[in-house]
Structure 1
């Protein structure tokens, strides 16, 4: 049995599957400048309380797929085929104003470099409070108190100090926690974490992923976890998509994909991890 095994469990027998909050169907993405299709027919569903992993090397189409779901594709890139639905509504039918309202309240995201998404001249507590005022309609004092509670919820050691600090005063791990606090401030139902821990050391990376798992379990949040690291996805995700050169080459329940891979690229990724002896990814059952 492979050393890469998920720790998540399947829904209880007989339990009806939840309706997807986010659903992509045969999404193809094209660069208008060249006419070249760069993502080829991605389909996935994200349901409450479940984690979907997207794994692949740089340039495989992972981030473009996520940006298509968020309605944040670059100006020269477009969805040329297929649909993205939020709560059953095709995003192509949404007005820009409605789309803006949905971001943060239904669908939110955290990315690899949190400093790029925080204003360097505004204290981090004020930035979270602004999200709450805009998205939740809270007054200034209520937003400030809620921002402090969110900083505490993402397990920052001294939230009262952190909320009055500027981004440059915080470490990478602390900044990522601040960004997560801002991303979940308006109680979204799906959170996309696009390489959110790549730049962090292994210990901090595990802490951030544990935090995301805790949020999922406590709130029923659906997660999309994007990574180039198959071992990370193996431990955290219920379902996995393996992407290569803009195409999904393998997709299914994580345990099935890892134990019975059908595509040569998936087998290569698994073999590479086993070659480096990643024993820490064994489950207790396998170690017994």
Structure 2
């Protein structure tokens, strides 16, 4: 019988103890797999197989011209497709739940509490006859069960969190008394009131001037970093996506023509349409996000 080396067992123990372990995989909060959207009235498919995943704290951008299928894809994710449109293939999972299994009442519970959205024209989503603070407070009461006084206090906190000056004053104002940028901040406060895990920003900064747009994007980025909020940023503007996103999908005529990490797609675009978008947007501010060193590598 061959004697065992006295040092072999400790060596194995040390090797095991120092072996690197892979970090646990974080499950996605939103998983979109080969989603297709059809128009029943026109008997045609208008979105042709969109796929992406979002984990907490990450941001995915969806860019493309008007009519490319960006908004229809987002509405499919939210379960609010316009009449005559329907998901004809693929699947959407929100926090592990297949949305195809959701009843209307379960969808109502999910929206706002787990997934929420901010759209382009905030005035269209706020009641002009109700003070803006009361609208934020109402979401808190319905979605989180807070009492009236608690909801008011929390609503003021949320208005402060979205960087509105004098939030107590803003609480008592009507939508027509606020600027476009202020209204968008109110809408963001409303969208995140119930602590959703995913926020879809669909052209949320399009109607704003450049300075206010940058402030809103900084705000979304701050919310992402502080709370682990996952973002879907929909825009026709590559500079917007470059500022806040980790991954980008380029859509054209309902199809994803290019997809990948933002720095890779912006610096080394492969599809002619992506190259055209980059060339067009460089003169409008995209050059600020393009590292010349990386671009030439």
TM-score (norm 2): 0.89
Q: CA deviation at 1:277?
A: 7.0
1:162 and 2:170 matched: yes
Does the C-alpha gap of structure 1 residues 241 and 278 become closer, same or farther in structure 2, counting only changes over 3 Å? closer
Question: How far off its partner does 1:271 sit?
Answer: 1.7
Alignment match, 2:119: 111
What CA deviation, in whole Å up to 9, does each residue of 1:219-247 have, x standing for no partner?
00000010001122122210000000000
2:271 aligns with: 263
The answer to whether 1:193 aligns with 2:198 is no
Report the aligned-residue RMSD: 1.7
Give distance in 2, aligned partners of 1:182 and 1:240.
Answer: 26
Q: Quick one: distance in 2 between partners of 1:255 and 1:286?
A: 9
**How many pairs align?**
275
After superposition, the Cα gap between the structure-2 partners of 1:144 and 1:279, relative to the gap in structure 1 and judged at 3 Å, is same
Partner of 1:50: 58
Contact 2:267/2:290 (8 A) holds in 1: no
Q: In structure 1, what is the equivalent of residue 78 of structure 2?
A: 70
Aligned residue number for residue 7 of structure 1: none
Provide Cα deviations, 1:87-126, integer angstroms capped at 9, x if missing partner. Answer: 2221010111111101011100000000000000000000
**Aligned-residue offset at 1:15:** 4.0
Q: 1:115-168 CA deviation, whole Å, 9 max, x = no partner? A: 000000000000000000000000000000000000000000110110000000
Please tell me whether Structure 1 or Structure 2 has the larger radius of gyration of its CA atoms. 2
Give the distance between the partners of 1:74 and 1:46, measured in 2 at CA.
24
Q: 1:240 aligns with which of 248, 264, 274?
A: 248
Compute the TM-score of the two structures, normalised by the length of structure 1: 0.92
1:26-60: CA deviation from partner (whole Å, max 9, x where unpaired)? 10000111111000000111110001000000000
Unaligned 5+ runs, structure 1: 1-12
Aligned position for 1:209: 217
1:222-241 aligned at under 5 Å gives the runs: 222-241=230-249
Please say if residues 115 and 196 of structure 2, whose CA atoms lie closer than 8 Å, have aligned partners that are also in contact: yes
2:237/2:281 contact within 8 Å kept: no
Match of 2:40 among 32, 36, 39: 32
Match of 1:147 in 2: 155
